[in-house]
Amino acid sequence: MKLLFIGDIVGQPGRRAVAELLPKLRERHSLDFVIANGENSAGGSGITPKTAGEIFSAGVDVITSGDHVWDQKEVMELLANEKRFLRPLNYPLGTPGQGSAIFEVQSPKSKGQSPISVAVLNLQGRAFMQPPLENPFLAARAEVERLRKQTKIIFVDFHAEATSEKIAFARMLDGQVSAVVGTHTHVQTADEQIFPGGTAYLTDAGFTGPHESILGREIEPVLKRFLTGMPQRFEVAKNNVLLHGAMIEIDEATGKAMKIQRVSEAANG
């Protein structure tokens, strides 16, 4: 099966890029399943039912998140009612929402055949991250063991800052999950690979939104903050809008990745 993961969607420009480019990518690559990190989709910080609805309408099957998941109060509605929306698994027990889910995927290429079960798992790192959550390594081990009893195809969005933590996390899960792709830094890395056990890996998928910016925000206020130390309002930038992510081909029988490639597509306007 072919799976596309879309890196952090930033504000209206990012949502527009997904709406414009995803239908073309689905057709061009015969995609079976699409996951996107949407935690910055509402004004560049947080997510709401409205912005999630736009992302789903564009063709995304599952939305993951990260440390900005609580930035918009409307997110509570998503956490309570939307099974296609995930927050990091390693929040304390009793936190609203879910950190993993299994989805039944009917491949366009296999009409008449049984759906394919695909698990999606969302975790957040601890190095340089706030708030500090439960240990993602321990949480992932237990959850992956549970999920593997139901499917061998498991995709993990690891929302973390430190490259060492991301690589160590993925190495631990090599052979147990189909792919581990990092999010959070908004900088697409060039280290896509398949580990010996068959797990596809990319340290960071990058971000979907305006790249004539500083991580999706207008340049001048960010520079002023660094130069003066004074608080600034960081508005979402507008120009050079790109969709970043990773495309992964997975063996349906074994759950092992066969191919991973970075995606960088320019939107119009």
Chain center to CA of 242: 15
Measured over the CA atoms of residue 150, residue 154, residue 159 and residue 160, the dihedral's sign is positive
CA-to-CA distance for 163 and 69, rounded, in angstroms?
Answer: 21
Closest CA to 13 of 181, 205, 261, 212: 212
Instruction: Please enumerate in sequence order all residues whose Cβ is within 8 A of that of 228, keeping only pairs 6 or more positions apart, or say none.
Output: none
- For 230, the token pair is 């004074």
- For 89, the token pair is 């698994």
**Are 117 and 102 within 8 A, CB to CB?**
yes
- For 260, the token pair is 């991973």
**Are 95 and 32 within 8 A, CB to CB?**
no
Strand 207-210, strand 241-250: pairing: antiparallel
As annotated, the active-site residues are 68
Block residue for tokens 């056990």: 197
**Are 236 and 11 within 8 A, CB to CB?**
yes
Closest CA to 78 of 111, 108, 38: 38
